[in-house]
Amino acid sequence: MLALRKSTAAFGADLVHVDAPPGPGAGRVTIAVAAAGICGSDLHAFEWTPGYGFMTAFMPVTLGHEFSGTVQVVGDGVTALAPGDRVTCWPTVPCGDCAACSAARPQHCQGRRIVGLHADGAFAEQVVVPADNCRRLPDGLPLTVAALAEPLAVAVNAVDVAELGPGDRVVVLGPGPIGISIAFVAQLRGAAVLLAGLDDAARLDLARRIGIRATADLCGGSLEAAVRHAFGGEADRVIEATGSARSVVEGLAALRSGGVLVVAGIHSGSLDLDLTGFVRSKKQLRAAHDTTSRAFDEAIRLLAVHAATLEALITHRRPLAEAGAAFELARSRQAMKVLLLPEAVATQGEG
């Protein structure tokens, strides 16, 4: 089968023919992939940005962790799933025996493995995953839209970490798929949301079509001024999904005393912070990464209810055989979410 693999510790990835995976083994299932989204982390792995060196030990490894599909084969001991079930998958596999796992906090497992980064993922016709990581899809939720479950779950978790409430004034920085999803979830929870981008007219336009009521394009202007203009004062919460350390500094400046800033982007740079000013302002700096089981389930429920709206995040669908061009598209800011479809699915035009 065709697979997009990271084989060397350098820029790029290889589209190669590999053997189909052997039987799934106990507790695992083989999934026929229907659709797999290209994520920011896939682009970091592709571009080999700092922070992804951990992958070297697992190469060659097939990329792709945002996916949906149909169960083909179930391994011994799997009773919750059967062939034919339509599923999506939380790609984080906890180690199962560290202190965090023993304390039922698998999201804090530092030995966790991510399908598509540490183990073969879904930019292929088939992927093998633990059955426990799979979630059966509600009837009527298209498989293509279900491939958004993982990034939406990351957004739900970031909103959870922000602990925002109805009426809070929330600034979301970065109108990519995660930022728009964060703004969407925060609005659903009753927050007043301002989604800000930098020279981002097309992506902010898409955000407004998805229902984000207030957006700001900061080409040249300051975030503080845009926030004052939108809210008449400072923000209660800022959630960053840009990957730019500067946006964290600007976000802190737009935040009220005691407010919370959540860093959700993956940053290759470091933060230079005036610590005395930070301490005196009593602002809270938090990190959100990956997601939780609870947030994953909520994301699937949200997708089922808002499928027609959130489908607009999928701007491009490409056959897996065109993965190279699809990655170039995803690296440009022209695309929002690019899905790769295994050839058989792509030619059927699965909806």
Q: Does 307 bind Zn ion (CB under 5 A)?
A: no
Q: Which two tokens stand for residue 21?
A: 């995976």
CB of 302 to Zn ion, least distance (A): 16
Among the listed residues 34, 61, 74, 101, the single contact to Zn ion using CB under 5 A? 101
Among the listed residues 94, 130, 259, 265, the single contact to Zn ion using CB under 5 A? 94
Site string for Zn ion, 25-44 (x = CB under 5 A): --------------x-----
CB of 97 to Zn ion, least distance (A): 6
Identify which range of 58-66, 162-170, 246-254, 316-324 contacts Zn ion by CB under 5 A. Answer: 58-66
Residue labelled with tokens 């695309």:
335
For Cα atoms 203, 303, 89, give the angle at the middle one, nearest 5 degrees: 105
Identify which range of 99-107, 141-149, 181-189, 330-338 contacts Zn ion by CB under 5 A. Answer: 99-107
Rounded CA-CA distance 4/65 in Å is 12
CB of 98 to Zn ion, least distance (A): 3
Q: Does 117 bind Zn ion (CB under 5 A)?
A: no
Query: What HEC string does 263-322 produce?
Result: ECCCCCCCCCCCHHHHHHHCCEEEECCCCCHHHHHHHHHHHHHHHHHHHHHEEEEEEHHH
Q: Does 95 bind Zn ion (CB under 5 A)?
A: yes
CB of 152 to Zn ion, least distance (A): 10
Q: Identify the H or E element spanning 339.
A: strand 337-341
For Cα atoms 150, 156, 160, give the angle at the middle one, nearest 5 degrees: 140
- What's the gap between Cα 39 and its chain centre? 6
Q: Is residue 41 within 8 Å of 63, Cβ to Cβ?
A: no
Residue 94 or 251: which CB sits closer to Zn ion? 94
Q: Does 111 bind Zn ion (CB under 5 A)?
A: yes
Residues within the interface to Zn ion (CB under 5 A): 39, 66, 94-95, 98, 101, 109, 111
